[in-house]
């Protein structure tokens, strides 16, 4: 699979620009690092250029402009990329619905998402869970205060994701998520 330097570079510049002021939860890490990691995981696990670009843009609609951003993505990168991004979007409502309600809806909708969107979503969740685990080893149990679901809710969500991805998209990447979630669960025992 060949990634077009021009198209991918355009997406990278776009993602960097719209997320420029955003940081990872509770850190000074620029948010673009997460987007690059997700895109990289997508490519490493067989994704194509559209999926890799969606990996860069998967949080753009939710975090940076709603449907106006979706329209820009659709016009600039195509319907397939925009559809993947929308399938990965938790909510566009402001204010956001309650955390548990959003997560339950996201989990329920995983069964109907395209394989394109599943790969990007799975890569996103693998990177997020891995970052939580790494941060846990740096700051301990204080990590859970960063998340609306706290320790119990966050672990419930990632266990539920892992179980669904394992059934819906069995792969080395879903196995990786399962391993990270098990290690996260072991930290709370």
> Per-residue DSSP letters for 80-142?
HHHHHHHHH-----SSPPPHHHHHHHHHHHGGGS-HHHHHHHHHHHHHHHHHHHHHHHHHGGG
* 5-187 fold: Hypothetical protein af1432 (1.10.3210)
- Mean pLDDT, rounded, for 50-64: 95
- Mean pLDDT value across residues 150-155: 95
Nearest to 10 by CA among 48, 56, 51, 42: 56
Q: What pLDDT digit, counting tens, does each position of 21-30 carry? A: 888 888 889 9
Write down the pLDDT at residue 64: 86
Contact 52, 43 (CB under 8 A): yes
Instruction: Measure the N-to-C terminal CA separation of the chain; round to a whole number of Å.
Output: 43
pTM for the structure as a whole = 0.94
Residue 20: predicted pLDDT: 92
Local confidence band at 14 (pLDDT 50, 70, 90 cut-offs): very high
**What pLDDT was estimated at residue 157?**
98
Domain extents in the chain: 5-187
* Other Cβ atoms closer than 10 A to 19: 20
Residues 95-124 have pLDDT tens digits of 889 999 999 999 999 999 999 999 999 999
């Amino acid at each position: 699979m060949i990634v077009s330097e021009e198209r991918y570079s355009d997406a990278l510049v776009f993602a960097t620009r719209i997320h420029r002021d955003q940081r990872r939860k509770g850190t000074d890490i620029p948010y673009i690092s997460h987007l690059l990691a997700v895109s990289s995981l997508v490519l490493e696990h067989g994704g194509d250029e559209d999926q890799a670009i969606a990996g860069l843009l998967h949080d753009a609609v939710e975090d940076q402009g709603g449907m106006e951003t979706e329209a820009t993505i659709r016009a600039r990168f195509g319907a397939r990329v925009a559809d993947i991004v929308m399938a990965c979007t938790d909510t566009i409502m402001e204010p956001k619905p309650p955390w548990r309600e959003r997560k339950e809806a996201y989990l329920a909708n995983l069964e109907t998402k395209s394989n394109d969107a599943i790969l990007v979503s799975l890569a996103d969740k693998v990177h997020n869970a891995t970052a939580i685990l790494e941060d846990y080893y740096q700051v301990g149990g204080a990590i859970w205060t960063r998340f609306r679901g706290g320790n119990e809710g966050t672990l419930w969500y990632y266990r539920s994701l892992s179980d669904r991805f394992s059934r819906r998209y069995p792969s080395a990447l879903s196995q990786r998520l399962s391993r990270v979630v098990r290690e996260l669960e072991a930290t709370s025992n």
